[in-house]
Structure 1
């Protein structure tokens, strides 16, 4: 019985290890960095390379006038335009911007990542489709939540 349990444990653990390769980890980090770096140095092609075409980026804001919360949504096309236009003057980020990537969970075809940037936090869902890792969901907030008003 103990041998059977040990064998089952070994098989289960080996299946878990196969779900994430070293290359997957590299590719997931590369995609998350492409997302933020394409905003640091305007690069719409780099942003587009990181995003799944069905990406949705969301945050919660508070309308002062209505005293009501609402959800903002951006899509892949908006993010590509943002990467092209947001930091054109080079004044939106510090000289050495923060771009800390924390891998929260990785499975065979999905990953959850936390990106800590200078002014905000992004929680990303990254999906592997057709052999490539792409960001499909982003939930974000400013570090200073008062900026959400």
Structure 2
């Protein structure tokens, strides 16, 4: 699946988006034009707009992350992650009723991906919509919408390559949280 990469401009600046569907880009463009409040939350100052090679490298890192997971490709997943990655989800303990953060490390995520190698996600069930919201110097913020969950990611350029350092994720409506690790 080839992703489309676009720079979406609004009244106050621009934000970067990469998506697997043309309709998502059109919707994002329309939403940007309709709501300056939304724009304020997603805009990059024009002086900080990343070079195209940064956007392409970040997009590739995010594709290695989601496609690596779907395919059970441990090497692609591992290449996209910083070894000290923290992937967290807020959850509710059914016994106590108290909220807590469930956390997964880079090692746990890589091992989980390896376990999927013999049962990759079928193509018809895959969703991989990518939006890069902001890039400044060696830091970037993005979202990956997957089949049953949404990830909000922070990336950093370390030693010349972009890697994911933090992920806060949430299950889509109607999808139960199942600790996979």
TM above 0.5, yes or no, is: yes
Match in the other structure for 2:107: 77
**Per-residue CA shift, 1:68-87, capped at 9, x if unaligned?**
11100111101110111136
The count of corresponding residues between Structure 1 and Structure 2 is: 134
Structure showing greater radius of gyration is 1
Match in the other structure for 1:131: 160
Q: CA deviation at 1:61?
A: 1.0
Q: CA deviation at 1:15?
A: 5.2
Match in the other structure for 2:87: 57
Which of 124, 132, 156 is the aligned partner of 1:103?
A: 132
What SS does structure 2 have at the residue aligned with 1:64? coil
User: Which ranges of structure 2 fall in alignment gaps of 5 or more residues?
Assistant: 1-44
Question: RCO (CA 8 Å, sep 6+): is it higher in 1 or 2?
Answer: 1
Provide the rounded CA distance (Å) in 1 between the counterparts of 2:70 and 2:56. 21
Match in the other structure for 1:144: 173
Match in the other structure for 1:41: 71
Provide the rounded CA distance (Å) in 1 between the counterparts of 2:72 and 2:62. 16
Cα distance, 1:123–1:14 mapped onto 2, change above 3 Å: closer
Provide the rounded CA distance (Å) in 1 between the counterparts of 2:91 and 2:166. 18
Cα distance, 1:16–1:67 mapped onto 2, change above 3 Å: closer
TM-score by length of 2: 0.68
Provide the rounded CA distance (Å) in 2 between the counterparts of 1:16 and 1:89. 42
Match in the other structure for 2:119: 89
Provide the rounded CA distance (Å) in 2 between the counterparts of 1:69 and 1:86. 29
**Per-residue CA shift, 1:89-146, capped at 9, x if unaligned?**
23x5552511000011111100000101110100000000111100000000001266
What SS does structure 1 have at the residue aligned with 2:59? helix
Match in the other structure for 2:146: 117
TM-score by length of 1: 0.82
What SS does structure 2 have at the residue aligned with 1:61? strand
